[in-house]
Amino acid sequence: MSLTKLNQSQKGNIAEQQALEYLCEHGLTLVAKNFHCKLGEIDLIMQDANVLVFVEVKYRKSSSFGTPVEAVSLSKQKKIVKTAQVYLQKQGLKEYNSECRFDVVAIEGSSANTDITWLKNAFYGV
């Protein structure tokens, strides 16, 4: 399926599915997808051994207007951290004793030729 003929939401869903499959292939387990609260959204929440991983997925067809990683701005990082705090509270977990990290999965290219970059500990928060 050509990503160029899809709307942004469809492209995002496909990129998130690609990221999920990639992370599962690397030993992570899905905990939740698209966690929403009034503060924001977290694309994927994964388990990596005893670490809860909050994953931001970014897709770009090309880096002409910046790379997918560059699209995860400081303000976006802050929103993700605050949303992660809400998630932890809703799960009855405490920030100070729950091991967490924030990763970015950057996907770049067309459907025929895609590069996936996984940045562990891409930024800090909780």
- CATH number of the domain that 113 lies in? 3.40.1350.10
Whole-structure pTM value: 0.86
- Of 86, 62, 64, 60, give the one whose Cα is nearest residue 72: 60
pLDDT at 10: 75
Examine the pLDDT at 126 and tell me if it is beyond 70.
no
What's the token pair of residue 114? 């895609």
Total number of domains in the chain? 1
Asked if the model's pLDDT at residue 26 lies above 70, the reply is: yes
Confidence at 111, pLDDT banded by 50, 70, 90: low
Of 4-18, 22-36, 42-56, minimum mean pLDDT range: 4-18
Domain holding 11, by residue range, is: 3-123
pLDDT at 67 over 70: no
